[in-house]
Amino acid sequence: MENNAFYVALSLLLNFDASLYQIVALSLQVSLLAVLIAAVLGFPLGAAVALWRFPGRGAVIVVLNALMGLPPVVAGLMVYLLLSRAGPLGEWGLLFTPGAMVIAQVVLVLPILAALSRQKVEEMLGEYREQFVSLGMSRARMMPTLLWDARFALLTVLLAGFGRASAEVGAVMMVGGNIDGVTRVMTTAIVLETGKGNLPLALGLGIVLLTLVMLINAAAYLLGELTRRRTG
């Protein structure tokens, strides 16, 4: 019975295991903050690429789309070399802290948010363009209008970004170091328990992670549906 992963997951949750809750809280903090920062940067970036025509625009789109598939461990390595004492931002002393994990996840999530929001905004712009020009709107003025009107599509994009951030292990392992009580998150804890051969616990943690991600998706879905019904 105690070798059953579902049983382990359930007892982890029901016993209010303090270290588990700390790990879950850190996972959420890191990934949510990373997605928030990536959204603040990525949505305007995506909208800007949709709105403006400039030389090299095609290349930018290709690069953004390709970076959506950036392997987490490569993002982790880049951020590691950047934040390492021997690297350009070594002075910040961020390596092996949650801050470094946030940065690495921003690197992973930003291309997803930018590339997908570029697509959504461009679709919407096709529909709105004549009306916008008729209203005398500049491109800069179109940006907030488009981002707000695309809010339901962007919520889905946000969830895709959160999914990637909370599921990846390579980047946070490399720049966080999986330090007990400091930078250990769900995914790195799963790797550690797998390494110890404690497969039921590893899978139990996986089930907890999955449950969490599902809850967040469900909450976002409900929120989206409610506001959609209210504001169209």
Partner 1 sequence: MKKTLNLVLAGVTTLGLAFSAHAEDYITLASTTSTENSGLFDSILPKFKDATGIDVRVVAVGTGQAFEIARRGDADSLLVHDTAGEKRFVENGYATERADVMYNDFVLIGPADDPANISEAESAAEAFAAIAEAEAPFASRGDDSGTNRAELRLWENAGVKPDGDWYRELGSGMGQTLNTAAAMDAYVMSDRATWVAFENPQNLKLLFAGDESMFNQYGSLLLSEEKHPHLKHDLAKQWHHWLISEDGQQAIADFKVDGQQLFFPNAK
Partner 2 sequence: MTSLNAPRLASSALLSPPSLSFQGVTYSHEEKVLLGPCSFTLDGIGPTLVMGPNGAGKSLLLRLAHGLLSPSQGRVTWSGDRKPRQAMVFQQPVLLRRSAVANLIHALAVNNVPRRERGKLAFDALDRFGLSACARTPARVLSGGQQQRLALARAWVLSPQVLFLDEPTSALDPAAIKAVEAAVREFHQRGTRIVMTTHDIHQARRLAGDVLFLSGGKVREHTSADAFFNAPVSREAQAFVAGELVE
Size of the site for partner 2 (CB under 8 A): 17
Among 58, 131, 181, 197, binds partner 2 (CB under 8 A): 131
36: nearest Cα among 120, 123, 102, 134: 102
Residue 85 backbone phi and psi in degrees, to 5: -55, -35
Residues between 202 and 231 with contacts to partner 2, criterion CB under 8 A: 230-231
Give yes or no for a contact between 46 and 121, defined as CB atoms under 8 angstroms apart: yes
Residue 232 sits in the site that holds partner 2 (CB under 8 A): yes
134: phi then psi, degrees, rounded to nearest 5: -60, -35
Q: Are 29 and 185 in contact (CB under 8 A)?
A: no
By beta-carbon proximity to partner 1, the closer residue of 67 and 192 is 192
As a whole number of angstroms, the distance between CA 33 and CA 29 comes to: 6
Residue 126 interacts with which of partner 1, partner 2, none, CB < 5 to 8 Å by class: none
**Using rule CB under 8 A, residue 149 touches partner 2:** yes
- Interface residues toward partner 1, by CB under 8 A: 25-26, 29, 32-33, 36, 84-87, 90, 93, 95-99, 177-180, 182, 192, 194-199
Sign of CA dihedral 121, 127, 129, 132: negative
CB proximity list for 147: less than 8 A, separation 6 or greater: 43, 44, 47, 117, 121, 154
By CB under 8 A, tell whether 53 contacts partner 2. Answer: no
**Residue 85 three-state SS:** coil
Q: Show the site string, 83-122: x = touches partner 2 by CB under 8 A, - = not.
A: ----------------------------------------
**Site residues (CB under 8 A) for partner 2?**
127-128, 130-131, 133-137, 141, 145, 148-149, 152, 230-232
